[in-house]
Structure 1
Amino acid sequence: MPKFLQRRWHGYHTVWAFMLLLVLIIIVSTYNWVLGVSSLFLAGTLCFSMLKAEISFRRKLVEYINGLSFRIKRVEGEAVSMLPLGIILYGEDRAIEWNNRYAGDIFSRKSLVGEPLPELLPDLMSSFQGTALVKRDLSRDSSPKEPSLKDQRVEIAVDERYYQVVLIPSERLLYLYDITELAVLRERYEEEKLALGILLMDNLDESAQGMDDQQRTSLIAKVTSEITEWAKQFDVYLRRLSSERYLMMLNHRSLQALEESRFVILDEVREMTANLKVPMTLSIGLAFGAESASELGALAQSSLDMALGRGGDQAAVKAGQRLSFYGGKSNAAEKRTRVRARVIAHALRDLMQESDRVLIMGHRTPDIDSVGAAIGLLKAAGMYNVEANIVMEGPNPSITRMIEEIRKDEELYKSFISTEQALQVMTEHTLLIVVDTHKASMTMEPRLVQYASRIVVVDHHRRGEEFINDAVLVYLEPYASSTCELVTELLQYIHEKVHLTPLEATMLLAGITVDTKQFALHTGSRTFEAAGFLRRIGADTILIQRMLKEDLQEYLSKAEIIKHARMVYDHIAVVVTASGMKIPQLLIAQTADTLLGMTNVLASFVISERPDGLIGISARSLGRMNVQVVMEKLGGGGHLSNAAAQLEGTGKEAEARLLEVLAEIEAKEGLFE
């Protein structure tokens, strides 16, 4: 019993009072024993009454406390059962030993006792596995400072309601909180986040070429009507900025719906204008996930630039760190105007004249197009008496004959320097020109890109996610057949009188010849104009044929590889070489080109181990299949009809990954246009 209840007015001080009374009675008895006896009797009666009252009080107090304790325990039990949160106790075997009423209501059962917890809440398995690992680690370490198991929180969904599960491993206890309103509010917030986009009729001038004003207006109205209907269908606000450009405002939910539809408007507009000489195509850039509207706008424009840099007729979506591409099934439309080439040529001329030196660098394992373009730009710098060099490193089988011809021209050959020499001569006033690639990681020496203060990019590949963003001048034209074609056009505008030696003209023409497969693929009118210009100033086609000749052993090796080809999806040839068979990248690419010439083959993939230990994949198509998208999913890139990738592992593993990607694309949008 609490002491404060015992210390009442008849507590211990009352005992002292009775003792004092007894002393007084004894004193009185010495004077009058009759009076003393009477006083003693009265005092005893009073003491007995008070003692009886105290005993009765204590008994009733105990009964009251016991009754109150029973009521509290009963209410506590009911409160635990009626609490708006689930409570579950489980044993070491993860079977449920007890649950409150609310936990049973969550799973629409009166009792959950005996049920295996992993079956009831499978989402908690990872948490249990983590707990088991921690326990195992604790058992290995018997130091006194053992860390305690931390509570873990997991969100689950049960019958369209959301719960947060708090797992307390030390007590083998689970709490389940209903967070449905919070989850719905959070989901709604995510769905209603703002996304911005820009839609562009990327080849309006080419499609409307030769039309009068009425026909052009009719074409624009027809396409605009289709775009407007599409925007209404997906709840997109569309604002016309010019005759060919639109601003798009939408929320995340609409953006997800657009991505699920694979931006069907791209195909609809192209098919609707298929009767034109050049069908109309659209490019779309969308951005989502930025903190401010201004940042969203900048990202949307960047996404549009990415879509245009990849050839147009596609949509690029930048959502946080994710960058996705949709469409891109058609070849880039050739631009008929030379205005851009002239502007770029004049800007490049000014940059060269302001520089103390020009360094020209291609990609790793350079090909004939890369070296030919570098030679053309070397000549351009020489026209203005600017010292220039081509950065080259190591032997390369694909350009062996080309280098042998270059060696015959001592002055030209002396212009080639190693990467170490380039790093030594580079200054803050040096101009670095990157040709035939726009990815710093693929250049001959990425450190040159890092150290250069001024960079120019000249490339014909479709733009990838990685890009040299700090370049002062970019000439990226995916419609071009080759980088040599772009450089040939620049040479015609960079100086009034272009004087190329026959060898220099031959190297440029060789680059065009190789990348167009003898003018069979990726050619436009500008390609033949560039080739005609080079031929007029002395390019030697016979020398090109000698440089491109195959020896007998290479031909036999190619035939041996082709022997293992098999067809998938009726029109795709796939080859995987035998394990341990190492083939140079050049031969892998040549084999893919050869397979493309077979009957009923629309695309080819050749997979083989290379001498450096990596697995090389070369992909080719006739234009009806976008092999660039396939290779990008495997970490590579390239053109719509010419792409490649490098993987680690084995040839069989690479084949399995390739087939998975093909199956994914076939299921979502189909492999062929």
Structure 2
Amino acid sequence: MPKFLSKRWYGLHLILAFAYGLVAAGLLAFYVHWSLGLLGLLVLIAAVFFTIRNYNATVREMESFIRTLTHRIKKASDEVVNEMPIGIVLLNEDKLIAWHNPYIQQITQNNELIGENLLDVFPPLSEAKEGDKKAEITYRSRVYSVLIRPEERLLYFTDITDYKELQMHYNEEKLVIGIVHMDNLDEVAQGMDEQTRSMLLTNVTGLITKWANKNEIYLKRFASDKFLAVFDQATLHQLEETRFAILDEVREMTGKNKVPLTLSIGVGAGKDLFTELGEMAQSSLDVALGRGGDQAAIKYKDKLTFYGGKSNAVEKRNRVRARVISHALSDLMLESDHILIVGHKMPDMDAIGAAIGVLKAVHANEKDGYILLDESNPSIERLMQEVEENELHDYFITSEQAMQMVTRRTLVIVVDTHRPSMVIEPRLLSATSKIVLIDHHRRSADEFIADPVLIYLEPYASSTSELVTELLQYQNDKLTMSTLEATSLLAGIVVDTKSFAFRTGSRTFEAASFLRRKGADPNLVQILLKEDLNQYVRRSEILQNTEIINHTAIAKGKEGETYGQLLIAQAADTLLTMSGIEASFVVCRRPDDMVSVSARSLGDFNVQVIMEQLGGGGHLNNAATQIKNTTVEQVVIQLKEALETCQGGKQK
């Protein structure tokens, strides 16, 4: 209520109170004397008169005030609806525009919108889902937040372009930390004279510095082979658009000089704390190195993205790491009550051979150890038949037996995989805090065993059997091995190298030579790897259904039939021997009802990147994946889509 009306209202109440007082006084006066009572009556009549007059004036002023206020409110409402910078659209039952305020005309630059279909006027609204109460659209280079009231058939349009631009600038200016690492520098520089080494470092450092200056990156060298890079997210987007071209530049420059020096880059972004960014950059670099180097790993919040990875991991000639790992492994074994050795599901010859080799190291340290194996499969059937006739059979146990045996002091050694979901018995990983990892696969982007006490992951190695063989050389000078033990390790190397044809380095032959001296029998290897005639025929049936696309072969098994993993892998290997084939993919359903894809290449085609898009992994020229709840034909379609977006590891 306005102040002038409040005062009048309070005055009216005072007059009424005074009148009531006069009535009481008048009654008292009549009781004393009639003249006093008459005087009081006259005063009372005057008070009533003035009260009525004041009341009528108050009512008239109140009515006038209400009329004025109503007019002002209506005028203000009309001005708000017509002039405020918020668009309002009222729809009829057919979703045609029944009314809109003038701001909608400014947005659309159209004065004749009544009767038009809403989606014809604002096509981006067609992307809004049924029942959405809010949408964000881009219309005529502006961004609008649309508040939808379906019950009233009303839409409110608010221009949020300036806010979005401010948000974009804020995000682009966020800090990003990267670590640039020169892979294998010490190995490469060995044997070089000082002048050649200095020239190499000068050329590589010059390229990196030029790249940093071009992209406005602050670069600081903090180790002989490492640089700290500080930049913002806008620069990170530019680097991603060029797919971190510095990787190719360094590889091409050093390749001309026959020097296998590459770069690995770890980047942390998307967090506010500098400490978190630094930790993310280091963990990204660890992942990049674990995948063989020559690539950039970008961790944005919790998502990892990779660029590069076009070359195979460079073999390390220095065996210092193998010796250190071997001695550390012995110490862990001696501190444990017993050791459990576990490989991946559907184990192959490399997994079983490596497990038998680790078991030999356990016995060399005079500890009790066991290998987990729930059931055999065609790829290891002949080896397990030999094991059945050997004392090694006593050291194979099932998963349930292992779970009854495991304690917090048990050492679990995982071989030939680093993905928890691939381990034969994943429960073992949480039943103990002492886990050792030995693997040769490139590190997966999304899965890795948590907190192992010892990691020996070397993507340059031909096989896990090769890594285990090197560890055995530092276990005991007087180490003796049975023919079956040595042959199992050799068979694992032979299978994964395709008889020393792929991923074979000097250390591979050295490992094979050590096993041969320890009694490995090449003839027994051939017996273990002999192929069944029926398997050969079934493999030929798979190869009949082969489609060739740009030197890439895709073969698929029949939907109603199941095929063993070994058969699928052999079919992929066979396709690769055909003329004009640079990469091969075989898609079949396995007996466990999963659809498996085996991928192979000659080296120029990165099949690992393709398989990672389908949830798998592996090496540049040897990878695989397994997919649940799908059909062979659906997986083939997914595979072709992955090849379209990532041809040969070069994403478009």
Query: TM-score when scaled to structure 2?
Result: 0.88
CA displacement at 1:558 relative to structure 2: 1.2
**Given the alignment of the two structures, is residue 291 of structure 1 paired with residue 272 of structure 2, yes or no?**
yes
CA displacement at 1:377 relative to structure 2: 1.0
CA displacement at 1:425 relative to structure 2: 1.3
Q: What's the counterpart of residue 547 of structure 2?
A: 566
Given that 2:137 and 2:143 are in contact with CA atoms closer than 8 Å, whether structure 1 keeps it comes out as: yes
Q: Write out aligned runs for 1:203-222 (5 A).
A: 203-222=184-203
Q: Write out aligned runs for 1:602-613 (5 A).
A: 602-613=582-593
1:171 counterpart SS class: coil
CA displacement at 1:70 relative to structure 2: 5.7
Given that 1:99 and 1:111 are in contact with CA atoms closer than 8 Å, whether structure 2 keeps it comes out as: no
**Given the alignment of the two structures, is residue 553 of structure 1 paired with residue 554 of structure 2, yes or no?**
no
CA displacement at 1:623 relative to structure 2: 0.8
CA displacement at 1:234 relative to structure 2: 2.4
Distance in 1, matches of 2:330 and 2:648, equals 49
Given that 2:215 and 2:235 are in contact with CA atoms closer than 8 Å, whether structure 1 keeps it comes out as: yes
**Given the alignment of the two structures, is residue 270 of structure 1 paired with residue 216 of structure 2, yes or no?**
no
**Given the alignment of the two structures, is residue 634 of structure 1 paired with residue 640 of structure 2, yes or no?**
no
**Given the alignment of the two structures, is residue 530 of structure 1 paired with residue 511 of structure 2, yes or no?**
yes
Q: What's the counterpart of residue 104 of structure 1?
A: 105
**Given the alignment of the two structures, is residue 333 of structure 1 paired with residue 334 of structure 2, yes or no?**
no
Given that 2:617 and 2:625 are in contact with CA atoms closer than 8 Å, whether structure 1 keeps it comes out as: yes
Which of 649, 652, 658 aligns to 2:639? It is: 658
- The letter of the residue matching 1:121 is F
Distance in 2, matches of 1:290 and 1:366, equals 40
Given that 1:401 and 1:547 are in contact with CA atoms closer than 8 Å, whether structure 2 keeps it comes out as: yes
CA displacement at 1:74 relative to structure 2: 4.6
- The letter of the residue matching 1:508 is L
Per-residue CA deviation, residues 222-259 of structure 1 (Å, 9 max, x unaligned), is: 11111122222222221111221111111111111211
Which of 420, 431, 440 aligns to 1:440? It is: 420
Per-residue CA deviation, residues 604-638 of structure 1 (Å, 9 max, x unaligned), is: 00011222222111000111111111001001111
CA displacement at 1:390 relative to structure 2: 0.8
Consecutive unaligned residues in structure 1, runs of 5 or more:
17-46, 132-151
Given that 2:606 and 2:649 are in contact with CA atoms closer than 8 Å, whether structure 1 keeps it comes out as: no
Distance in 2, matches of 1:311 and 1:7, equals 89
Q: What's the counterpart of residue 596 of structure 1?
A: 576
Distance in 1, matches of 2:567 and 2:331, equals 41
CA displacement at 1:550 relative to structure 2: 0.8
Distance in 2, matches of 1:284 and 1:56, equals 86
- The letter of the residue matching 1:490 is L
Given that 2:87 and 2:103 are in contact with CA atoms closer than 8 Å, whether structure 1 keeps it comes out as: yes
1:170 counterpart SS class: coil
CA gap of 1:627–1:268, structure 2 versus 1, over 3 A, is: same
Per-residue CA deviation, residues 490-514 of structure 1 (Å, 9 max, x unaligned), is: 0111212211112111111111111
Distance in 2, matches of 1:373 and 1:61, equals 98
Which of 594, 600, 622 aligns to 1:620? It is: 600
- The letter of the residue matching 1:107 is T
CA displacement at 1:645 relative to structure 2: 0.9
Q: What's the counterpart of residue 114 of structure 1?
A: 115
After TM superposition, the structure 1 stretch with the greater mean CA deviation from structure 2, 522-531 or 291-300, is 291-300
CA displacement at 1:430 relative to structure 2: 1.1
Which of 449, 459, 471 aligns to 2:439? It is: 459
CA displacement at 1:73 relative to structure 2: 3.7
Which of 376, 395, 398 aligns to 1:395? It is: 376
Which of 537, 555, 564 aligns to 1:584? It is: 564
- The letter of the residue matching 1:446 is P
CA displacement at 1:79 relative to structure 2: 3.7
1:274 counterpart SS class: helix
- The letter of the residue matching 2:533 is L
CA displacement at 1:167 relative to structure 2: 1.7
**Given the alignment of the two structures, is residue 317 of structure 1 paired with residue 318 of structure 2, yes or no?**
no
**Given the alignment of the two structures, is residue 348 of structure 1 paired with residue 295 of structure 2, yes or no?**
no
Which of 469, 473, 484 aligns to 2:454? It is: 473
CA gap of 1:62–1:472, structure 2 versus 1, over 3 A, is: closer
Given that 2:260 and 2:314 are in contact with CA atoms closer than 8 Å, whether structure 1 keeps it comes out as: no
1:315 counterpart SS class: strand
1:265 counterpart SS class: helix
- The letter of the residue matching 2:323 is R
Per-residue CA deviation, residues 535-559 of structure 1 (Å, 9 max, x unaligned), is: 1121100011011111211111111
Given that 1:285 and 1:303 are in contact with CA atoms closer than 8 Å, whether structure 2 keeps it comes out as: yes
Distance in 2, matches of 1:593 and 1:382, equals 36
CA displacement at 1:55 relative to structure 2: 12
**Given the alignment of the two structures, is residue 238 of structure 1 paired with residue 255 of structure 2, yes or no?**
no
Given that 1:220 and 1:243 are in contact with CA atoms closer than 8 Å, whether structure 2 keeps it comes out as: no
Q: What's the counterpart of residue 26 of structure 2?
A: none
Given that 1:562 and 1:575 are in contact with CA atoms closer than 8 Å, whether structure 2 keeps it comes out as: yes
1:239 counterpart SS class: strand
CA gap of 1:329–1:56, structure 2 versus 1, over 3 A, is: closer
2:568 counterpart SS class: helix
Distance in 1, matches of 2:159 and 2:651, equals 43
Given that 2:605 and 2:649 are in contact with CA atoms closer than 8 Å, whether structure 1 keeps it comes out as: no
Distance in 1, matches of 2:306 and 2:163, equals 33
2:408 counterpart SS class: coil
Given that 1:207 and 1:277 are in contact with CA atoms closer than 8 Å, whether structure 2 keeps it comes out as: no
CA displacement at 1:422 relative to structure 2: 0.9
Report the count of equivalent residues: 610
Per-residue CA deviation, residues 432-474 of structure 1 (Å, 9 max, x unaligned), is: 1100111111111001111022010011111113111311000
Q: What's the counterpart of residue 94 of structure 1?
A: 95
CA displacement at 1:656 relative to structure 2: 0.8
Distance in 2, matches of 1:7 and 1:306, equals 81
Distance in 2, matches of 1:128 and 1:302, equals 39
- The letter of the residue matching 1:464 is S
Given that 1:262 and 1:669 are in contact with CA atoms closer than 8 Å, whether structure 2 keeps it comes out as: no
Q: What's the counterpart of residue 77 of structure 1?
A: 78
Query: TM-score when scaled to structure 1?
Result: 0.86
CA gap of 1:74–1:298, structure 2 versus 1, over 3 A, is: closer
2:531 counterpart SS class: coil
1:456 counterpart SS class: strand
Given that 1:381 and 1:388 are in contact with CA atoms closer than 8 Å, whether structure 2 keeps it comes out as: yes
After TM superposition, the structure 1 stretch with the greater mean CA deviation from structure 2, 449-458 or 100-109, is 100-109
Identity across the alignment (%) = 51
Q: What's the counterpart of residue 508 of structure 1?
A: 489
Per-residue CA deviation, residues 253-301 of structure 1 (Å, 9 max, x unaligned), is: 1111211211111111111111233332110111112231111111111
Per-residue CA deviation, residues 363-398 of structure 1 (Å, 9 max, x unaligned), is: 111111111111111111111210111111112111
